Structure 1
Amino acid sequence: MENADQIAQAVEAVVRLLLQQESASGEKMDLDLDSGTSDEQAAQEARIKSAREYCLRILGSRMAPAVVADDIHISDLIKKKLMRVDSTSTKAVRFSHLYTKLSACTVLNKKWSVLYFLLALSDQTSADSLDHRTNNQPLSFLGLQTLDTKRTRERTRTEQSDTTMAAHSRHGSLHIPPQSSRAAPYTNLLNEQARNPQQQEVAEAVLLRDLIFIFQGINGKSIKFGTESGSCVIDSSLNVSKSTRSLVNRLTELGWLYKKISQYVDSTLKEGNAGLVGQSFCSALHHELVEYFRLIAVLEAHIAKDADTDGSSGLSLKRLLVWTQDSLQRLRLMSVLVECCRDLQGGALVSMVHDYTQHGDPLIQQFISHMLERVSAPFYVMLQQWIYKGELEDPRTEFFIAVDPEVEEEDMWQRKYFIREEMLPAFIGKPLAKKILSIGKSINFLRHKCDDSEWFLENHGVGKTLKYGDIAELEGSIDAAYVGTSQRLLFMLKTKFKLMDHLTAIKRYILLGQGDFIQHLMESLGTNLSQPANILFRHNLTGTLETAIRSSNAQYDDPDILRRLDVRLLEISPGDSGWDVFSLDYHVDSPINTIFTPVAMHQYLKMFNFLWRLKRVEYALSSAWRRQTTSARAIRPILELVPELHQCRIVCGEMIHFVYQLQYYILFEVLECSWDELLKSIESKTTDLDSLIEAHSKYLGDVTSKGLLAVSHDVNMMPRLLELLATILDYKVAQDNLYNYAMAEIERRERLAQTADRRTRHGQWGLTDQDETLDRIPDEQFEELVPGLLRTLNEYSMQFKRELSDLLITLSADGDSDLRFLSFRLDFNEFYLGSLKGATAPNPQTRTPTSSRS
């Protein structure tokens, strides 16, 4: 504020001095406000105020010094003028040789002043006109009229020091010239036009001077910005031809575009809500405007030169239109970018600017590419930090990779980092973006979970810098970082954390691949698991598990693997037995739990429960077969049950065939084939942790879908299969009841035979009327107990065949070839499909106990 007051006071002093000099040369008016009348004081105050506002407007502009001391530029002007005079270019060539000699001369220090002096002299037509124009003061148009005496030089220096003030701008300082300098023609033209507005057309010098202000977003005296549309309008009181007005309207577009761009930059930086990329975009716009400011400085120099030479030959509106075409095109492009990127930030802004590089004009491509290099600088810094350090420095969420701070470290790989597609630049495709995401995640995984900071510091991203340019080079850098980090991560998982050992252990124990261990476990737990689930204790089951491990080849496995194997009891429901709630569990920790997620372990558990149930059915059928074999000779004397017992052996054989074929399909066709595909994928197709997780997910999906007969999406066959297995267990229980009765009957007959022998030895009748049932089932049992046992067996047998037939029909009609092949293995001779109706209908040849006793 203090500097602004000092500038205002200095401007007012300069204005008073200039008006005092003007009055001294004319009416000798005294500027002492105290000695005049009130009207004169008011007039002087108004004049001073108007002049002061004009001076402050000039000070606030971005005009550079009027004349730029450039030797090359002035020599080019001379050569162009010589070529216009002489079409043979002889004089221009001669001047080039002379200028070369002048440049080599070390005696002269102010070569530009000499050339400028000669060029100014060449613009004069004759000495007479020169003397007439300067009132017998030669070269007054150059400001050299004070070179005659030392006293004049001192007076001029004093006047200039009193009337000069530095106004700071972006490109240097501006000086207000004295009354006799270049501003006088412009003021005289305006005053003359104001006195006679309808008698003559506005001079081009007036319009040119106002256009310089318009180019900087400042209102001129005759040309001003409109209040509503923002377009520029010419003072209606001035006489301007239609053609000139058209030229002015075309030229004012430059100022309108500049004002639009400048307002966007100022408002964006003032509000402070722009991110790093938005600030970089504003910086790039400002950098391009610097070239525009240089053009304005050159134009100001030409206008000042024309003012010194009374505008005899120099800048015109048509020439100004030609000279500003390049800048106009640049400002138009920047205006389009400002309009499109107004509400964008980050990667979306970079992507929008990049879209304009797909232009057919190579100049526009070069301009946008050069600008995009500045705009994308913060984006590439964030990209470099991510792929070489794994750090996400994005305070304004401008990067296309985001982090969820609420996700725990256990889910870091799957859920913590993700891609925001709205911030993904157009020159980075989705496959490349996934690689970039994988690089950063791999670095963080190695650093925080694998404790591999040494390799990271020694081998990754040393001396690498990324910037906008060659997309192929960018992709090459990303691919190199992707391959390096991914290979290191996979190496650490396979070696230090024994990934393959864990996969093998889960296959052997959870998926029942270790046959001897499962057999020992089944035999050890069979008695306990047949009890109700609510009386089971986990520590007893754990002891049994350790016994099964020591009794099988599992004892030779890695102790770390065996330590992770444990017993788990599922949620108990009323009526559940130990078979329904028992399960094996395998514990995993970081970083392996990234692959063996809770969801994956739940799928393994689901598969184990089905395989364990299938193994239980196999164990039950094996027990039933052993009993049939061992008791066949003993129960042969019971002639009434011989056909039924034979039928039991047939049905039991069918069930064993079904279970064995289903086990073969699951254990070999599903598990082993899927395992082989998993190993091939890990060895040849796995390139990063994402692909490893995908391969494991595919393996687990194939195992669960094919193993649980859930390949078909139309029909859910698992409930049918579970009902079929339950029917087999129920049939086994019914068969055990029949065999228990048969064994009880054999024991009864043996006791009766022993009693008859004892009576015979004592001289009595061995058999009495009450003992007539020595060779047959008693009538009351044959009529009441035996029919119920046989009826239950027959019902379960029929139910098994009916359910198996329905399952075969569904499998044979399924679209999956493996399931169709399973149906063929289960019914290779089409016995079930051919006898479906016969199995469901009553069999007239079924012998009842009463008919056998007739």
Structure 2
Amino acid sequence: VGGAAREEWEFKIRGEISDTSMRYIVERMLPLCSFYYNIHLFVTLHSRYEFGLVNHALSACIREMLTNYLTLITQLEYQTQNGQLTLQRLWYAIQPSLHALKHIYNAVKKVYGCTGGAVLSGLYDGVTREGDAMTKKIYIHLLERASVPYLRMLELWIYEGIIQDPHDEFQIQSNDDLTTENLNKDFNDTYWEMRYTIRPDKIPSFLAEKGLSDKILVCGKYLNIIRECGHPADNAHRTPLRYFQDIEEYRVAVKRAYAYASRSVLHLLLKKQKLVERLRSIKRYFLLDQGDFFVHFMDIAKGELGKSVPKIVKRKLESLLELAVRTSGANNDPYKDDLSCFLQKYTLMQKLDAIHSTSEVSDQSRSPLSQQPSARAPPPSPMLRGLDAFTLIYRVKWPMSLIISMKSLTKYQLIFRHLFYCKHVEAELCKAWLHQQLFKELNVAGTFKGAYLLRQRMLHFLQNLVYYMMVEVLEPNWHTMVSRLREAKSVDDVLRVHNSFLDTCLTQCLLNSQHLFKTLTKLMTTCLDFTEHVKRGADCVRANMEVDVKKKYQFNRVQKVQRETKRAEETAERERFGEKVGMYNKRFDSTVGEFIEILRRKSNSQCDHHLANLSTRLDYNGFYTRAFPEVLDDNYAAIPVRVDSGI
């Protein structure tokens, strides 16, 4: 099949015929024998099981057409027995059969060894190329009969989403190894793309119009979504298909079936399965839309998340997460039971490094995101803290897993971990403010002023960064996605809109730029080191104050403040507090200057107004431009934005 050795027989005169005219007539008759015998061989071979239903139908049609030829042979034999047949009469009688068998023979030569749609393409080629009316009529008759089983398969596919193709003849093939369960497990699962695919060599020429084959494929895929959910997928307004010489008939039938399938599956996803409500539930947790839930969870899980990952009791962490959900506004979420937590083996930086490494070594056809870190990623650290490893997971079932697949959830997790860590750093800076309140009654402004200012600049940076991501990136893109989902005409539109939302958020939240994110991580590490330094300094001063309390000296308020001020200054000098604050100040300012410089360069090269907005927000008063004139010059014209928070 597909490469069957073709046997072609030809009849010739054995010996010599002295009569030239007789020899001439016999030589012109012999091709009829060759045509018949070769056609008979084709029918015998292609009637076998492995050649498929289309060849079976074609062979049956040819067999019926040969019946007329065999009837003629019987009549001629009767005339021969009665002595009524001459060579000239024979030549005259076989003219119609010679013409018909010649074109049948040419047709079977075109489709010899082919199966399915390739057979119909060969016959259709004969219809379009032949100009003789009788020849075209023969090809059309063969095509009408041979296309019956194929068009029956097409009907089942576009009206019911069923493939009934025991001989692999149809233009759509099914990969039964791919199941819907893989969507929740395998990041690179290709269920939607590879569960049903097109066989280009099995598409009949009259269905090969651009876009028509894709619609046929998608039509059945949509109906399969409905069928796998246990709902009936039978199109009540089906049009029986037969061979039409006018291609427009197929276009109209497929268009109607496609419209019904798209309408049905969109109603299933948006109305019955409530896709938008599901996505809103995910936004509540992964994009930190539910503020009271997040704050409450951070408060009650602080101790557990501060431990190293091996020491964390996952069941306890899940209980704390559930407690935070049920004691906050998220308790009204009907899908809250699908939320759970997970501890990753890698930090977000390591994960993104693995993603970019995979992107560099993989070919363009594959997604750069990979569930498993590449070989270039460092091994998991046993000292990884819960704060660096914590993420959320969300359980979804079919058909929601088609839209909210493992790949989509991984993108949500990347954004969540980024926001979660930024909020953690912001919370630590706020705690540093609490530690600094220990000195508010003391006259230590000269000693600790640098720490106050640096802490405020760090807090300004983090708050504006979080504001940018939450208000200027996530929220507008979310509303754009929801409006486009409601306007979607097909499942592919829904997938495209949702994936576009996630990719845009990843890019604008700086997760797709390795250089930007590494600089930002360096900044947040500096902030955490500084808060730890402030805490240690406050603890040392507090310890000295407690010594005075234990001595039970009786001082009036002025004396007490003077004595504690002196001890605080001595402690700060002994611990080199101011010197270290200066070091952190220099490191922070230089890194922020580098960060803003990268933002400006990328916003200019990529014409990205979001990066320009963030740059303007962080350097709203030109402080860093004046501090680093060699890098941040005045030639850069930033897009002005309204700043709601500042120093």
Is the partner of 1:584 in helix, strand or coil? strand
Report the AA paired with residue 198 of structure 2.
Answer: I
> Does residue 1:333 correspond to 2:103, yes or no?
yes
Report sequence identity in percent. Answer: 27
Question: d(CA) in 2 for partners of 1:482 and 1:229?
Answer: 45
Of 178, 184, 190, which residue of structure 2 is paired with 1:407? 178
Is the 2:79–2:85 contact (alpha carbons within 8 Å) kept by the matching residues of 1?
A: no
**Quick one: distance in 1 between partners of 2:568 and 2:541?**
12
- Does structure 1 retain, via aligned residues, the 8 Å contact 2:273–2:400? yes
Any conservation in 2 of the 1:337–1:353 contact (CA below 8 Å)? Answer: yes
Q: How does 1:360-439 map to 2 (within 5 A)?
A: 361=131, 363=133, 364-411=135-182, 413=192, 415-429=194-208, 431-439=211-219
Q: Is the contact made by 2:263 and 2:489 (CA closer than 8 Å) also made in structure 1?
A: no
Q: For the residues of structure 2 that align with 1:613 and 1:626, how far apart are their CA atoms? A: 20
Q: Is the 8 A contact 1:302 1:315 kept in 2?
A: no
User: Which residue, 628, 653, 665 being the options, matches 2:468?
Assistant: 665
Aligned match of 2:30: 252
1:742 and 1:749 map into 2 onto residues whose CA distance is: 11
Task: Find the aligned partners of 1:562 and 1:684 in 2 and give their Cα distance.
Answer: 27
Contact 2:454 2:585 (C-alpha < 8 Å) held by counterparts: yes
| Structure-2 residue corresponding to 1:734 | 533
Tell whether the 8 Å contact from 1:303 to 1:315 is kept in structure 2 after alignment: no
Aligned to 2:258: 482
Residue 57 of structure 1: aligned partner:
none
Match of 1:805 among 593, 610, 621: 593
Aligned residue in 2 for 1:819: 611
Q: Deviations over 1:563-592 (max 9, x none)?
A: 222233334842222312322332222332
Is the CA contact (8 Å cut-off) linking 1:620 and 1:732 kept in structure 2? yes
Partner in structure 2 of residue 650 of structure 1: 453
Matching residue within 562, 580, 586 for 2:336: 562
- Counterparts of residues 101-180 of structure 1 (less than 5 Å): none
* Shift in Å, 1:276: 0.9
Cα distance between partner residues in 1 of 2:539 and 2:484: 54
1:585 and 1:300 map into 2 onto residues whose CA distance is 84
- Shift of the alpha carbon at 1:302? 7.6
Per the TM alignment, residue 254 of structure 1 is displaced from its structure 2 partner at its CA by: 2.7
Q: 2:371 maps to what in 1?
A: none
Q: Deviations over 1:442-462 (max 9, x none)?
A: 33332332x323xx46x5366
Give the counterpart of 1:445 among 191, 208, 225: 225
CA distance in 2, matches of 1:620, 1:273: 72
1:731 Cα shift?
1.7
Q: Secondary structure at the match of 2:415?
A: helix
Deviation for aligned residue 1:263: 1.6
Instruction: Name stretches of at least 5 consecutive residues in structure 1 with no aligned partner.
Output: 1-227, 759-765, 841-854
CA deviations on 1:441-487 (whole Å, 9 max, x unpaired) are 333332332x323xx46x5366x422111432223222222222332
Offset at 1:552?
Answer: 2.9
Equivalent-residue separation in structure 2 for 1:237 and 1:477 (angstroms)? 61
Contact 2:39 2:105 (C-alpha < 8 Å) held by counterparts: yes
Q: What is the TM-score when the length of structure 1 is the normalising length?
A: 0.61
Cross-structure match for 1:676 = 479
Residue 696 (structure 1) aligned with residue 484 (structure 2): no
Partners of 1:749 and 1:775 within 8 A in 2: no
**TM-score normalised over the length of structure 2:** 0.79
How far, CA to CA, are the matches of 2:568 and 2:434 in structure 1?
Answer: 28
CA offset at residue 230 of structure 1?
4.4
CA distance in 1: counterparts of 2:568 and 2:435, whole angstroms: 24
Conserved 8 A contact 1:709-1:819 = no
Tell me the secondary structure at the aligned position of residue 127 of structure 2.
coil
Q: Find the aligned partners of 1:653 and 1:565 in 2 and give their Cα distance.
A: 36
Q: Which residue of 2 aligns with 1:467?
A: 242
Letter in 2 for 1:436: I
For residues 231 and 644 of structure 1, the distance between their equivalents in structure 2, rounded to whole angstroms, comes to 110
Q: Structure 1 residue 746: deviation in Å?
A: 5.8
Separation in structure 2 between the aligned mates of residue 362 and residue 655 of structure 1, nearest angstrom: 86
Give the whole-Å Cα distance in 1 for the aligned partners of 2:56 and 2:126. 20
- Relative contact order: is structure 1 or structure 2 higher (C-alpha 8 Å, sep ≥ 6)? 2
| Alpha-carbon distance, 1:249 to partner | 3.0
Partner of 2:354: none
Equivalence for 1:286: 63
The answer to whether the 8 Å contact 1:753/1:774 transfers is no
Tell me how far apart the structure 1 counterparts of residues 389 and 8 of structure 2 sit (CA, whole Å): 80
- 1:507-561 deviation per Cα after TM superposition (whole angstroms, max 9, x unaligned): 1111111122222222332343233433332343334334433443223333xx1
Distance 1:493 1:743, change over 3 A: same
- Cα distance between partner residues in 1 of 2:622 and 2:556: 54
* 2:165 alignment partner AA: D
Superposed displacement of residue 229, structure 1: 8.6
- Please report how far the alpha carbon of residue 781 of structure 1 lies from its aligned counterpart in structure 2 after TM superposition: 5.6
Q: CA deviation at 1:239?
A: 0.8
2:53 aligned residue (241, 262, 276): 276
SS in 1 for 2:164: coil
When Rg is computed on C-alpha atoms for both structures, the one with the higher figure is 1
**1:369 and 1:653 mapped to 2: Cα distance?**
84
Which amino acid is 1:278 matched to?
Answer: N
- Taking the TM superposition and a 5 Å limit, the aligned residue runs for 1:585-624 are 585-624=393-432
Q: Deviations over 1:784-832 (max 9, x none)?
A: x332x33332333222222222222222222151334323332344433
3-state SS, counterpart of residue 553 of structure 2 = helix
SS of the residue aligned with 1:358? helix
Q: Deviations over 1:183-211 (max 9, x none)?
A: xxxxxxxxxxxxxxxxxxxxxxxxxxxxx
1:355 maps onto 2:125 in alignment: yes
Deviation at 1:506, TM superposition (A): 0.2
* Aligned partner (choices 440, 449, 462) of residue 633 of structure 1: 440
* Per-residue Cα deviation, 1:254-280 (whole angstroms, up to 9, x for no partner): 3222222222212333x5431111212
**Alignment of structure 1 residues 771-786 onto 2, 5 Å:** 776=566, 785-786=574-575
Q: Is the 8 A contact 1:510 1:586 kept in 2?
A: no
Contact conserved, 1:524 with 1:544, CA < 8 A, in 2?
Answer: yes
User: Which runs of no fewer than 5 residues in structure 2 stay unpaired?
Assistant: 1-6, 183-190, 346-379, 633-647
Separation in structure 1 between the aligned mates of residue 470 and residue 38 of structure 2, nearest angstrom: 74
- The alpha carbon displacement at 1:309 in A equals 8.9
- Inter-CA distance 837–331: structure 2 relative to 1 (3 Å threshold): same
Query: Which digits, 9 at most, give the CA deviation of each residue in 1:694-713, with x for residues without a partner?
Result: 32222222222332431x5x
Taking structure 1 as reference, are residues 824 and 273 closer, same or farther at Cα in structure 2, changes over 3 Å only?
A: same
Q: C-alpha distance in 2, partners of 1:838/1:748?
A: 50
Task: Please give the per-residue CA displacement for 1:53-100, whole angstroms capped at 9, x wherever unaligned.
Answer: xxxxxxxxxxxxxxxxxxxxxxxxxxxxxxxxxxxxxxxxxxxxxxxx
Name the CA distance, whole Å, in 2 between partners of 1:264 and 1:618: 80
Q: CA RMSD in A?
A: 3.6
